[in-house]
Structure 1
Amino acid sequence: MELTDDQIAFREGMSRMGAAVNLITTNGPGGKHGLVASAVCSVTDSPPTVLVCINRNSFVHDKFLQNGVLCVNVLASQHQDLCNTFARYVEGVDRFAHGEWTTLATGSPVLTDSNVSLDCRIGSLLEQGTHSVMFCEVRGMHLSDSPGAGLVYFSRDYHHLQTPPL
């Protein structure tokens, strides 16, 4: 499908909006899966809720819905290689063999050295264009004792933010 001029301009504009890089993981009846996403943001703290947008054409989209749970692992600069591993799907490759993982309340994979991991149950769902917007209720959280420099995606490339003082 060929993109329209408006779609091309919109994508270029959105590439100029820096965003945190997140590894979204899930585990349950649909299996253990993960994908990289920047379309994640907080919604409210009462109850703690984030939204996660996943393309409905993604090979794992339906697995997330089947499992009904996910974990938002906010990546640090040292995770760029791990991010690339999850960004490319290769048949038969166990992407979870990379990194150290644990679980919290939902059973979704939690990257132990992510800056923060938000373990969530998928609440409501909104279909908009090509994506599902998932409103996810936080059931557990893991904060890194020593957060790394933030990993952001801006202008179609990774950038590292300065490590915050503790």
Structure 2
Amino acid sequence: MAETVLKAADAAPGGAVLSDELRAGFKGAMRRLASGVAVITANGANGPLGLTATSITSMCAEPPTVLVCVNQSASIHGALAVGQPICVNLLARDQQDVSGAFGGKLPPEERFGVGNWEPDHNGVSRLVDAQANISGTIDQLTPYGTHSIVIVRVEDVRLTGPVSPLIYQDGGYL
């Protein structure tokens, strides 16, 4: 088996400079990581906002907390702030259409037309037939590179149906 080892270019003052080779290698490595798919929702000034995300993980059980990474250029990003409610909707295997709609196939104002949505206890849109809905409040928001790390303190969890998650890897669904 061939092995490729890539390293960052010489560090410049203030941080490392990534070579094109390392950047491409990193993207290739991340494409090999299978991830569950979710739609993150929040309330914006003009109504509900949402985006498809795969950078989600449980952080701790005491207190129940999840970590979500959101690109700072995403339309939902401006609505994210400490103390604001948010909902993480874990998608089921048959919800590729929802993932696509919130992943950019539809403009933001048309996305909630795909799937059956209702407000959670905070008034944030939750997908009725998602694998799970995790509702909570943003406890911490930390910018890092092109993204923000969003730490959500969980307030409510709703489970639906059998475990049958939508999984994304290498640019497609498994």
TM-score range, shorter chain: 0.7 to 0.9
Residues matched between the structures, number = 157
Larger radius of gyration: 2
Q: Which residue, 39, 43, 53 being the options, matches 1:37?
A: 53
Instruction: Give, as a single letter, the amino acid of the residue that structure 2 aligns with 1:49.
Output: T
Report the Cα distance in structure 1 between the residues aligned to 2:112 and 2:57, rounded to whole angstroms.
24
Query: Counterpart in 1 of 2:137?
Result: 121
Does residue 156 of structure 1 match 2:166? Answer: no
CA contact (8 A) 1:28 1:107 kept: no
Report the Cα distance in structure 1 between the residues aligned to 2:136 and 2:125, rounded to whole angstroms.
11
CA contact (8 A) 1:34 1:86 kept: yes
1:17-56 paired onto structure 2 within 5 Å: 17-27=33-43, 29=45, 31-56=47-72
Per-residue Cα deviation, 1:60-89 (whole angstroms, up to 9, x for no partner) = 211233882211100011100111111116
Q: Secondary structure at the match of 2:167?
A: strand
Superposition deviation, residue 131 in structure 1? 0.7
User: Equivalent pairs: percent with the same residue?
Assistant: 31
CA contact (8 A) 1:121 1:137 kept: yes
Q: Which residue, 134, 150, 154 being the options, matches 1:138?
A: 154
RMSD, matched Cα = 2.1
Report the Cα distance in structure 1 between the residues aligned to 2:119 and 2:75, rounded to whole angstroms.
23
Structure 2 unmatched ranges of 5 or more: 1-18
Give TM-score scaled by structure 1 length. 0.86
Q: Which residue, 144, 147, 152 being the options, matches 2:162?
A: 147
CA contact (8 A) 1:73 1:116 kept: yes
